[in-house]
Amino acid sequence: VQLQACGGGLVQPGGSLRLSCAASGSIFGINNMAWYRQAPGKQRDLVAIIASGGSTNYANSVKGRFAISRDNAKNTLFLQMNSLKPEDTAVYYCYAVIIPQGAQRTLPYWGQGTLVTVSS
C-alpha cells in the first residue's frame, strides 16, 4: 500500500492550487484521511482531516480558504487551496489510516510530500 501525492508548485499570493493523493495497493478500506504540512524549520502540523463518512475538520489558519474532500470509489484525497498566503508555503503530506487486504487492524500511511510555494 502506498500514497502518492501531487499538485504542488509555485503560486502567487491570492492564487489557488489543488492537491491530490491517491492510495494504491491491496486495500480493504480507508478510515480517516488528512493533509499535514511542514514549513522549513517547523514541526509537521495538521491542516485538515476527513472521516470516511465525510465529516471534516480544519486548522484555524486555513478555515474558509481550504477544502478537503475524498473520492472513496477511487481511494483519492484532495485539498483545494484558495486565497493562498506566503505563510502557507510548506511541504504538504497526505496521511491515511488504511486497512490492508488480509490485515486484522488499521495501519497509518504517509505520502511522500509535495512542495507548495506561495510567493510573488
Q: Which of 37, 41, 42 minimizes the C-alpha distance to 84?
A: 37
C-alpha grid cell for residue 53?
463518512
Residue 112 pLDDT: 93
Spatial separation of the C-alpha atoms in residues 29 and 109, rounded to whole Å = 13
Coil/strand/helix, residue 74: coil
Percent of the chain surpassing pLDDT 90: 98
- Overall average pLDDT of the 73-83 stretch: 97
Residue 87 pLDDT: 96
Is pLDDT at 104 greater than 90 in this prediction? no
pLDDT in tens, 26-76: 999 999 999 999 999 999 999 999 999 999 999 999 999 999 999 999 999
- Overall average pLDDT of the 67-92 stretch: 97
Across all residues in the chain, what is the average pLDDT?
A: 96
Residue 79 pLDDT: 98
**Residues found in the chain:** 120
Residue 60 pLDDT: 98
Residue 95 pLDDT: 98
- Overall average pLDDT of the 83-89 stretch: 98
Cβ pair 30, 96 in contact under 8 A = yes
Q: Which of 97, 115, 81 minimizes the C-alpha distance to 29?
A: 97
